[in-house]
Amino acid sequence: MARVAVVTGSNKGIGLACIRALCKQLKPDDVVYLTARNPELGKKAVADLEKEGLKPRFHQLDISNKASVEALRDHLKKEHGGLDILINNAAIAFKSKDPAPFSEQAKVTNGVNYFDNAQAYHILSPLLRPNARVVNVCSFVAVMTWGKMGDDLKEQFRKLATEEELNTIVNKFIDLAAKDEHTKHGFPGTAYGFSKVALSAFTRLQDRIFEKDTARPGIAVFAADPGWVVTDMSSGSGKKNVDEGADTLVWLAMRPEGDLEGRGEMYSDRKLNKVFL
């Protein structure tokens, strides 16, 4: 059976590099979907890769739009019957000099990077076949942010048992940020960093569920840190190019059947880099 891979937010940057690597590493009959909010940009990215001799397919996807995610799900189910690799790469980050108030940054950033990614995951994950791999793209910034969080808040994360509990914590951050009181309650002063802490926690919770899934054995959910990569999001600064940034993400996505070491945790440069110490 041909394997099917999807990378969200993949018309440029690290996502596009993941598509390129997957096309090269998977078998010729396997299917790799490049996705983008803007169909024109997505199709152009596919055309550029075709010039390199690669053959990804395109499907429109906006993780902030439930109907868009459901359309992708329905297409995958009809055409392929399932999904084997899901790299959740789509994300946003406000620039350091962005004039938007922190309250807005907290709401928008966590809305996309946590809540929208979680929604997309829940819509697509029923399609995951046995031994599938999910890679949630997090960041080394999550580790840095963890170090700036209050002890009580850290303990809440360590004791998380349900997604509902995690949602409550993220919503509390957004609500307190709206009143400029977030730091008084142990929350960090970075919306992006906190969104990646939340996504890392989400990764752990979802992987625990799959550990007990006897109907679909071998599925694992990982978090991955691409590192400091030169992209539009980083305003062109960084120490890695996009292919280097995609390396750990694709390595996790291609982990063979039975190789579940470090499941639920974050990897950096192919090594464990646990967030919740």
| CB distance 110 to 198 below 8 Å | yes
Compute the mean pLDDT over every residue in the chain, rounded to the nearest whole number. Answer: 96
Q: Report the distance separating Cα 256 and Cα 131, nearest Å.
A: 8
Q: Active-site residue 121, yes or no? A: no
pLDDT number for residue 235: 63
70-127 confidence digits (pLDDT tens)? 999 999 999 999 999 999 999 999 988 899 999 999 999 999 999 999 999 999 999 9
Catalytic residue chosen out of the listed positions 33, 121, 192, 267: 192
177-202 confidence digits (pLDDT tens)? 999 999 999 999 999 999 999 999 99
85-95 confidence digits (pLDDT tens)? 999 999 999 98
Helices (H) and strands (E) in the chain, counts: 10, 8
Residue the block writes with tokens 């914590």: 169
pTM, two decimals, is 0.96
